[in-house]
Amino acid sequence: MRYIVTKNKQIKKRMRSFNEYYSLLREAIVSGNLKSSLDRGAFTHPKQILNREIINSLGLKRHRISLGYGQEVGEDIVREKIVERENLIHGTDYNLENVTVVAGAWFGVEVVIEEITQKYANKKPKIAVIGPTHYQLFQRPIEVLGLEVIGFDFVNFKGSTPKTKEEIDQILKCKPNVVFVTNPNNPIGEYFPSNLLRYLISTCKKRKIFVIIDEMQNFLATDGKGINYGKWIKAKNVIRIDSFSKHYALAEYRVGWVIADKSIIGSRYTGITQHVRGLMGNAPRAANDAIVKLLDFEINEIRNKIEHPLGRRIKLLYKKEDFIIKLLSKNPRIEIIHRDACFNLTVRIKDFPSDIEMSRRLMNRGTLIMPCTGYGYRTEDVVMRITFAERWSRIKHSMAVLTSILNEKK
Ligand SMILES: Cc1ncc(COP(=O)(O)O)c(C=O)c1O
């Protein structure tokens, strides 16, 4: 079998591994001992996207009408740009009614599931998750909404996504009401094969199953293209979620978006929008403006072949990845797992007790690397996610610590 099946109890355990990691992390921060962190990305230069004009708009010159209340579905200009970019890439005909802004992709997943749950008035929907993925996303569905979540985790090191229609059919045998897919997945960054996604969507459509696709890792694709679906992606049962948290390391902006049929997007008192209303789907002005600017860069690149102003710097990330690959591939205790996208390199470490123990040892020596139990990997498989979107000095420090731990006598 290429996948393992996990139920609520094990999923909760996986979720809790984030608690363990973040408690250790807090201790490490308080100790003042941390010198590098490769557990998340940071590479934007805010000045390039938050220019003087935008800083002025924060308070110095309020030249546009501020829509604090009244546009909880998200600012029109942000949604227009999202629609324009999506239609350019996929040949779709999305319009403003197909998009709502949410407070990040994580929250997007939560409200989408909440909305679907509400649609099933007399029964609770069952969710099949095709992992590995970020299992923290399912704390609210399991513990707040009381839903049954079944994980199908491709964590046996034979590829991290389904490869055949038979595997999709097998997964659907659990009769879910919702299938959740990450494209590309986290932590590996492997794309869900397009033909299988299309098959999944059409099969689910016939069986009245929703397909939620979380695309927030779709960035820095090794094939230079990334996601490019085609018109078929705009289906009534498909809900797509994205943000620039990874693309531009802008997690703190908390701007994400959901693209779906208008019956799911809804408006003030219906659909997803009713769930984000009190939280303000309309993000802070500076965040909205920065997102619009970045979308403009991307649209210009696709439509007019104008080089993305951040493009060259983003491409430099490949050099950092190469540096880590060259260094780690010399080490017999490390197996590097191929990535299709995003700025993480995932490795499996041999002859070591657990991923959390590895994190602890790394933190004691002043660096952070993400353990992957929370994504569906077995702790004893010691899968670690190394983010290469960091400064050279931090990467070198962190890799020196990792290799010295691996070179120690067992
Ligand atoms: C699959 C997936 N979705 C969503 C998120 C969180 O995204 P955001 O910062 O946009 O809420 C993560 C975070 O790593 C993730 O792995």
For residue 145, pLDDT over 80 is answered with yes
CA of 372 to the centre of ligand 1 (A): 14
* Binding site membership of 251 for ligand 1 (Cβ less than 6 Å): yes
* Binding site membership of 92 for ligand 1 (Cβ less than 6 Å): no
* Binding site membership of 253 for ligand 1 (Cβ less than 6 Å): no
* Binding site membership of 216 for ligand 1 (Cβ less than 6 Å): yes
> What confidence tens digit (pLDDT) does each residue in 272-294 have?
999 988 886 778 878 888 899 99
CA of 107 to the centre of ligand 1 (A): 9
Q: Which pLDDT score, from 0 to 100, does residue 57 have?
A: 63
Q: Which pLDDT score, from 0 to 100, does residue 315 have?
A: 83
Closest CA to 402 of 369, 354, 353: 369
* Binding site membership of 182 for ligand 1 (Cβ less than 6 Å): yes
Query: Tokens at residue 357, please?
Result: 């123990």
**CA distance to 60, 116, 255, 274, per residue, from 200 (Å):** 51, 18, 28, 29
Q: Is the pTM of this model over 0.85?
A: yes
Average pLDDT over residues 223-238: 95
Average pLDDT over residues 18-36: 89
Instruction: Write the DSSP string, 103-141.
Output: SHHHHHHHHHHHHHHHHSTTSPPEEEEEESS-GGGGHII
- At residue 309 the predicted structure's pLDDT band, cuts being 50, 70 and 90, is confident
- Counting residues of the chain whose pLDDT is more than 70, the rounded percentage is 93
Domains and CATH numbers, the chain: 8-44+313-407 (3.90.1150.10), 46-304 (3.40.640.10)
Average pLDDT over residues 305-320: 88
Q: Which atom of ligand 1 is nearest to the CA of 108?
A: 11
d(CA 115, CA 387): 33
Average pLDDT over residues 40-58: 67
Residue 98 CB-density burial (10 A; 0-12 exposed, 13-18 middle, 19+ buried): buried
Q: Which atom of ligand 1 is nearest to the CA of 186?
A: 16
Q: Do 368 and 38 touch, CB atoms closer than 8 A?
A: yes
Residues 6+ apart with CB under 8 A from 68: 280, 282
CA of 239 to the centre of ligand 1 (A): 15
